[in-house]
Amino acid sequence: MKIKPALTALLLTASPAFADGFVPDYAMIPLASHHYGDWGEDDDDDFNETNPGLMLTWAERAYDLNYTVGAYRDSQSDTSVHLSAAKMWKIGEYAQVGIVGAYLHSFGDGYTGVAPSIQLSYKYLFLNAATGYDDGVYGVISTGFIIPIGR
C-alpha cells in the first residue's frame, strides 16, 4: 500500500518541526510549474503546469531546518502530498537560497518518490528547481507565494 510510506515520512518530518510549537511559520501557495527536458518515451510530455495547493512550513526548527507538509494538484492533474526538510541560507535582506529534500506522493499518475531541489525565496515569492538525469536531463521549475503566519 503506497499510503504507508507517506504516513511514515509525515511522522518523521513532523516530529522535529513541532518541537517549538504547532503553529506554522508560513504557508506556501504553489501556483505554476514548467517542465523541461526529456521525460521519457512513455510520457506524452503534456503537463498542465498549473499546481494550486497549500503547504505549511515550520522554519528553523530541529537541526536549523525548515519542515514542510502540504498537498497540491500535480502536473498530471492528480492530488499529491509534499513532505520536505530544507536548509536555507540568508543571501540578502529579503532573500534566501537553500537545498530541499522532499518526498512527493501522487494519488494518480504523477511522480511518487524523493525529489531533491534548490529553492530561492524573495520576500513573498519562491522559485524551486528540481532536476534529474535518465538518458538526458529533465526537470521542473515551480513557483508560488509565501504568506507569513507565525513568529
Q: Which triple of cell numbers denotes residue 151?
A: 513568529
Query: What is the torsion angle, in degrees rounded to the nearest 10, for the CA atoms of residue 37, residue 46, residue 143 and residue 139?
Result: -20
Give the chain's largest Cα–Cα span. Answer: 47
pLDDT at position 136? 73
Averaged pLDDT, 8-32: 73
Higher pLDDT: 5 or 145? It is: 145
- Among residues 47, 46, 52, the alpha carbon closest in space to that of 32 is found at 52
Residue given cell 520536505 in the structure block: 84
Arithmetic mean of pLDDT, 30-51: 81
Secondary structure tally for the chain: helices H, strands E: 1, 8
Name the phi and psi angles at 32, rounded to 5: -150, 165
Q: What are phi and psi of 55, to 5 degrees?
A: -130, 135
16: three-class secondary structure by DSSP: helix
Q: Report pLDDT digits (tens) over 45-104.
A: 678 899 999 999 999 999 999 999 999 999 999 999 999 999 999 999 999 999 999 999
The domain total for the chain is: 1
pLDDT at site 14 = 54
Identify which has the larger pLDDT, 150 or 124. Answer: 124
Residue-wise pLDDT for 97-127, tens only, equals 999 999 999 999 888 999 999 999 999 999 9
Q: Which domain holds residue 129?
A: 3-148
For the domain that residue 27 is a member of, what is the CATH number? 2.40.160.20
pLDDT of 147 strictly over 50: yes
SS3 state at 26 = strand
For residue 139, pLDDT beyond 70: yes
Q: Counting every residue, how long is the chain?
A: 151
Confirm if 141 and 127 have CB atoms less than 8 A apart: yes
3-state SS, residue 21: coil
